Chains A and B, each alone.
Chain A
Amino acid sequence: MTAVPGRGRIELQDLAVTFPRRHEPPLVALDGVGLRIAAGEIVTLIGPNGCGKSTVLRAIAGLVRPSRGVVLLDDRPIAGPDPRIGLVFQEPRLLPWRTVAGNVAYPMELAGLRRPLRDQRVAEMLRRVGLVASAGERPAQLSGGMRQRAALARALALEPEVLLLDEPFSALDAMTRDRFNVELLKLWGRLRTTIVVVTHSIPEAIFLGDRVIVLSKRPGHVVADIRVDLPTPRTLDQLDEAVVSAAAHEIRSHLDADAA
């Protein structure tokens, strides 16, 4: 499975999202977000807490409706949840009564895929994320990291063109997290899907991203779009390089300028 070349282009045009509130004026989460993500690119979204990073992701996933503007996937507007998009939430959100294999099969069951195909893909996905030995276990028996791997396998099950990750490893310890990021990049090297990752860690944003998008505080809009000039495949050692600290410095200056 590899993404079809040239598929998975995302474009946000003047995106605004407001949430109605009771007894208060509506909450403007995003206001005028414009962004183009090329097919097969990895883009990381970073910004202050509550700036609407996750809302951007949810708008791309078709889970929130823009109040203005549009999200385009391969030049067509996103009108709702779309099978071409795989989503990994901040929490694993596994069905606790299903085995790991059953959880990975879940999206395919809902989509009506036949059993033999499902089984074959489950095996393939579990191999990809290194969970073959745990196929028959329940989520409660897994470590936090393994659960998030299972969630990743589930998101890949329908062979999406776009993979969205909402602070996927934020609950993991720093070392596990680093390892996961390396694995994610390896996976991306093979799949070449478009990936959008929300993170609140500057090093993580640089390590993963071809580009780092800095969002302003609420109402969120893009304040900086920084290209990361690190050679691929990336290694954790690169995190010590000068280009990284330069990028980090730039990101931080935008975050600080916005906070001032």
Chain B
Amino acid sequence: MRSMALTSLAGALGFLLLWKVVVVIGGYPPFILPSPESVIVRLAEAWAEGLMAPHAATTLVEVALGFTVGGAVGLIVGYALGRSSFVARLVSPYLVAAQATPILALAPVMALWFGPGLLGKVVISGLIVFFPVAVSAMVGIRSVDAGLLELGRSLRATRRQVLLTLEIPAALPSIFGGLRIGVTLAVVGAIVGEWAGAERGLGVLVNIARGSLFDIPLMFATLVTIAAFGVALYLIVVLVERRLVRAR
């Protein structure tokens, strides 16, 4: 565990060093590529002076709700797709078509329908989370060994017992594969949603920093915050996964 932490730390330092080297050798001006230390300073300032927090909180709520709603619906639909080939044949084409339509193109429509508030972002974030979770749940449920299902039948397992003791445990690793992808996409969805129209959020702050403020270090500091959220949420999913996979 300790050596893993050290490895991560070394990696981060290496990345910062590389960034610095690029800035120095390339001779880029701060408004193209600010130096890592200026971004770090700006990041600390933005949090200290209370500029970042409200935007971050807004985005975090959007991400959390989008991931929860998109993930939950994805699990339910994925289960239905996995269990019933009829449902799969009926629904899959639309799912794939929806997924193939770029979320960037959908975002303005969602903003139009659901307004500039929280709801629109949750819908966009949820939409983009939905697909990988649904597919992974479908694949997971289909991967349940037919022999085990027959064993369940021979032991007179109820529908609910089959779900809880056979299907979910067997599908769990696959489902978490989808949730890992889903949680990072939830962040993407929320930011895209904010770009399509919002008053607050990290996506909005990126725009403000680049536009009216022309504070490029702040823009980078915001990007760092977004990325850090993504990493943190991903790690949370991995931790939950380890817990659940061990507990089955």
Give A contacts to B, CB under 8 Å.
61-63, 80-81, 83, 87, 89, 91, 93, 95, 97-98, 106-107, 109-111
Q: Which residues of A contact B166 (CB under 8 A)?
A: 95
Given A93-B147, A95-B148, A97-B248, CB of A110 within 8 Å of CB of B165:
yes
Q: Does B150 interact with chain A (Cβ within 8 Å)?
A: yes
Q: Which residues of B contact A87 (CB under 8 A)?
A: 154
Contact of A83 with B156 in the complex, beta carbons under 8 Å:
yes
Looking at the assembled complex, report how far the CB atom of A92 sits from the nearest CB atom of chain B, in whole angstroms: 9
Contact of B148 with A110 in the complex, beta carbons under 8 Å:
no
Q: Does B155 interact with chain A (Cβ within 8 Å)?
A: yes
Given A89-B147, A97-B248, CB of A81 within 8 Å of CB of B169:
no
Q: Does B72 interact with chain A (Cβ within 8 Å)?
A: no
B149-174 Cβ-contact flags toward A at 8 Å (1 or 0): 01111111100010001100110000
Q: Which residues of B contact A97 (CB under 8 A)?
A: 169-170, 245, 248
Q: Is the interface of B mostly helix, strand, loop or mixed?
A: helix
Chain A residue with the shortest CB-CB distance to B149: A93
Chain B residue with the shortest CB-CB distance to A91: B147
Q: What 5 A-B pairs have minimum CB-CB distances, sorted nearest first?
A: A93-B147, A97-B248, A81-B154, A93-B151, A107-B155
9 contacts between A and B (CB under 8 A): A63-B150, A63-B154, A81-B155, A89-B150, A95-B169, A97-B170, A110-B152, A110-B155, A111-B155
Q: Which residues of B contact A63 (CB under 8 A)?
A: 150, 153-154
Looking at the assembled complex, report how far the CB atom of A108 sits from the nearest CB atom of chain B, in whole angstroms: 10
Q: Which residues of B contact A93 (CB under 8 A)?
A: 145, 147-148, 150-151
Give B contacts to A, CB under 8 Å.
145, 147-148, 150-157, 161, 165-166, 169-170, 245, 248
Chain B residue with the shortest CB-CB distance to A151: B151
Chain A residue with the shortest CB-CB distance to B169: A97
**A186, B170: Cα distance in complex, Å:** 36
**A97, B170: Cα distance in complex, Å:** 8
**A91, B166: Cα distance in complex, Å:** 17
**A87, B155: Cα distance in complex, Å:** 9
Q: Which residues of B contact A111 (CB under 8 A)?
A: 155-156
Q: Which residues of B contact A98 (CB under 8 A)?
A: 248
**A91, B152: Cα distance in complex, Å:** 14
Chain A residue with the shortest CB-CB distance to B248: A97
* From B145, B153, B161, B170, contact of A81 by CB (8 A): B153
**A97, B165: Cα distance in complex, Å:** 10
Looking at the assembled complex, report how far the CB atom of A172 sits from the nearest CB atom of chain B, in whole angstroms: 18
Chain A residue with the shortest CB-CB distance to B166: A95
**A211, B151: Cα distance in complex, Å:** 28
Contact of A110 with B157 in the complex, beta carbons under 8 Å:
yes
Contact of A106 with B165 in the complex, beta carbons under 8 Å:
yes
Given A93-B147, A93-B148, A95-B148, CB of A110 within 8 Å of CB of B169:
no
Chain A residue with the shortest CB-CB distance to B170: A97
Chain B residue with the shortest CB-CB distance to A87: B154
Looking at the assembled complex, report how far the CB atom of A102 sits from the nearest CB atom of chain B, in whole angstroms: 10
**A165, B245: Cα distance in complex, Å:** 32
**A63, B147: Cα distance in complex, Å:** 12
Q: Which residues of A contact B145 (CB under 8 A)?
A: 93
**A80, B245: Cα distance in complex, Å:** 33
Looking at the assembled complex, report how far the CB atom of A4 sits from the nearest CB atom of chain B, in whole angstroms: 21
Contact of A81 with B156 in the complex, beta carbons under 8 Å:
yes
Looking at the assembled complex, report how far the CB atom of B226 sits from the nearest CB atom of chain A, in whole angstroms: 36
Contact of A106 with B169 in the complex, beta carbons under 8 Å:
no
Q: Which residues of A contact B151 (CB under 8 A)?
A: 89, 93
Q: Which residues of A contact B245 (CB under 8 A)?
A: 97
Q: Which residues of B contact A106 (CB under 8 A)?
A: 155, 165
Q: Which residues of A contact B169 (CB under 8 A)?
A: 95, 97
19 more contacts with CB within 8 A, not counting A81-B155, A95-B148, A110-B156, are A61-B154, A62-B154, A63-B153, A63-B154, A80-B156, A81-B153, A89-B147, A89-B150, A93-B151, A97-B170, A97-B245, A98-B248, A106-B155, A107-B155, A110-B152, A110-B155, A110-B157, A110-B165, A111-B155
